[in-house]
Amino acid sequence: MKTISTILTGVTLAATLAGASVPTFAADTIKIGDINSYSGLPSFTEPYRKGWQLALEEINAAGGVNGKKLEVISKDDGGKPADAVTAANELVANDGVVMLVGTFFSNIGLAVSDFANQKKTFFLASEPLTDAITWSKGNRYTFRLRPPNYVQAAMLAEEAAKLPAKKWATIAPNYEYGQSAVAVFKKLLSAKRPDIQWVGEQWPPQGKIDAGAVVAAIAETQPDAILNVTFGPDLVKLVREGNTRGLFKGRTVVSFLTGEPEYLDPLKDETPEGWIVTGYPWDGVKIPEHAAFLKAYQAKYNDYPRMGSVVGYATLKSAAAILAKAKSTDSEKLVDAAEGLGTETPFGKITFRKADHQSTLGTFVGKTALKDGKGVLTDVIYRDGAKYLPPESEVTALRPQN
């Protein structure tokens, strides 16, 4: 009996806490809902938050959007898709946000994009890299900022094809990101260089690499070059073990994301030299828009920007540009405005393609080097995503036909 009343109290409590009242829409602000893995992946999401906070400050200082101030309501998804959907629901149904932005992990990005499609809410996925989000699982309401796996693979495969190496081995985390990165890279490189042989592959579980065994197993296949897709703590273990065991000696390594400060900085004096990587050399970017961003960021936070900072900043700037062009908060109008929209980011001008809702944001490709006991990037070139994405006429076929 007490039981029942307790249950009811619980449910009522849930309702009350959740704010059972009718959502209120303040007339003088436009609310944007942000979801990210703040507790699960703070090394990326802390800079990400700083990035969008800086953008928010700049936008509102310049008078906001359409005469209204922007407001961001930010939620943690705890790294779980189910919690991300709850957060999305709260933002849309309770807080009255006009669009959703954010997410890091591919599965969370997909869960939120599917939610957005179901609820006909605009969603700008900032970070998730899976190709599926704009192609095989793409939908009308979802746009994505960062260059997908395919683009990063295409940039690296282009460099890899120039190498004399014929025998290649791959090391990638055993989940969708690693699998699709390897698959696309293999496909593109083999297309350019039919003479290439794939001699070995290792698939350590994400976060649990047994680096010694993996390094020895790869060394045994005697590749000329290695593709690496691991990142974070796994990368550190791999690099340390590989350095000690001489795996990288006389071999070129091509590596996804390793040049991003989030992953390069922890390597400190163990940074292997000469790896061909995608990344973000924050102090070596020559793009004019970046100089202003860097100055403002360092002035506000007394710290240098990470990749996450740029993503957070560009996400909110893009969101503001979409709202400004739509002159409305209606989802359909936002989608129409975003299709083909050009906007400024710290990496220069980007366009959200009409055919697949993918932005043309690019990334940097360079070589790792060691300088004063720290990892840096040299020979860096910015690669525009537009040049590496499949043409718009082709991608339509990749998307579900409604």
Partner 1 sequence: MAFLFNQFVTGLASASSLFLAACGLSIIFGVSRIVNFSHGAFYMLGAYVAFTLSEHLAGALGFWSAIALSALIVAALGAVVEIVLLRRVYAAHELLQLLLTFGVTLVVEDVVVLIWGPSDLLGPRAPGFKGALNLFGQPFPTYDLLLIALGPLTLIVIQLLLRRTHWGVLVRAATQDREMVAALGVNQQWLFTSVFTLGIFLAAFGGALELPREAVSHTMDLQIITEVLVVVVIGGLGNVLGTFLAAIIVSELNAFGILIFPKISIVLVFLVMAIVLVVRPWGLLGRPEAASRAASGLQVMRWSPLSVRGRLVLAAGIVAAALLPLIAGNYALTVASEVLIFMLFAASLHLLVGAGGLVSFGHSAYFGLGAYGAALTLKHFGMTAGLAIGPCAGLVSALIFGWFCVRLSGVYFAMLTLAFAQIVWSIAFQWTDVTGGDNGLIGIWPSAWAASAAHFYWLTLALVVLGIAALRVILFSPFGYALRALRDSELRAEAIGLSRHRIQWMAFAAAGTFAALAGALHAFLKGSVFPDDLGIPLSIDALAMVLLGGAGTVSGGVVGAALYKTFSIWVIGETDYSKLVIGTLIIVLVSAFPQGVLGALAAWRNRSSTGERKDLALGEAR
Residues 219-278 that bind partner 1 (CB under 8 A): 219-220, 232-233, 236-237, 240-241, 244-246, 262, 265-268, 270
x/- letters, 123..152, toward partner 1 (CB under 8 A): -------x-x----x---------------
CA distance 338 to 319: 9
Q: What does residue 208 show for φ and ψ, rounded to 5 degrees?
A: -135, 40
Positions in 353-372 near partner 1 (CB under 8 A): none
Q: Binders of partner 1: how many residues, by CB under 8 A? A: 88
How far out from the chain centre does Cα 210 lie? 26
Could you say which of 162, 191, 205, 327 contacts partner 1 (CB under 8 A)?
205
Q: Which is nearer to partner 1, 219 or 277 (CB)?
A: 219
- The residue range among 59-67, 170-178, 284-292, 346-354 that interacts with partner 1, by the rule CB under 8 A, is 170-178
- Answer yes or no whether residue 217 interacts with partner 1 by CB under 8 A: yes
Could you say which of 64, 81, 279, 346 contacts partner 1 (CB under 8 A)?
81
In whole angstroms, the minimum distance from the beta carbon of 207 to partner 1 comes to 5
- The residue range among 141-149, 185-193, 198-206, 349-357 that interacts with partner 1, by the rule CB under 8 A, is 198-206
In whole angstroms, the minimum distance from the beta carbon of 56 to partner 1 comes to 18
Cβ neighbours of residue 327 under 8 Å, at least 6 residues apart?
66, 333
Positions in 280-319 near partner 1 (CB under 8 A): none
In whole angstroms, the minimum distance from the beta carbon of 178 to partner 1 comes to 10
- The residue range among 168-176, 186-194, 281-289, 388-396 that interacts with partner 1, by the rule CB under 8 A, is 168-176
Positions in 89-118 near partner 1 (CB under 8 A): 89-90, 93-94, 106-107, 110-111, 113-115, 117-118
In whole angstroms, the minimum distance from the beta carbon of 199 to partner 1 comes to 12
- The residue among 27, 99, 23 whose CA lies nearest residue 68 is 27
CA distance 79 to 38: 8
x/- letters, 28..67, toward partner 1 (CB under 8 A): ----------xx--xx-xx---------------------
Residue 291 Cα distances to 79, 88, 314, angstroms: 33, 34, 14
Q: For CA atoms 120, 122, 127, 129, give the dihedral sign.
A: positive
Could you say which of 15, 191, 381, 397 contacts partner 1 (CB under 8 A)?
15
Q: Which residue has the tokens 């020559």?
A: 286
Residue 356 Cα distances to 25, 98, 142, 183, 387, angstroms: 32, 22, 9, 21, 15
Task: Identify the helix (H) or strand (E) that includes residue 72.
Answer: strand 69-76
- The residue range among 24-32, 201-209, 314-322, 377-385 that interacts with partner 1, by the rule CB under 8 A, is 201-209
Q: Which is nearer to partner 1, 1 or 27 (CB)?
A: 1
Q: Which is nearer to partner 1, 266 or 390 (CB)?
A: 266
Are 41 and 308 contacting, i.e. CB atoms less than 8 angstroms apart?
no
3-state secondary structure 224-291: CEEEECCCCHHHHHHHHHHHHCCCCCCCEEEEEEEECHHHHHHHHHHCCCCCEEEECCCCCCCCHHHH
Residue type, 266: P
Cβ neighbours of residue 1 under 8 Å, at least 6 residues apart?
none
- The residue range among 20-28, 190-198, 282-290, 320-328 that interacts with partner 1, by the rule CB under 8 A, is 20-28
Q: Which is nearer to partner 1, 26 or 213 (CB)?
A: 213
In whole angstroms, the minimum distance from the beta carbon of 337 to partner 1 comes to 26
Cβ neighbours of residue 307 under 8 Å, at least 6 residues apart?
44, 47, 260, 261, 262, 279, 280
CA distance 228 to 237: 13
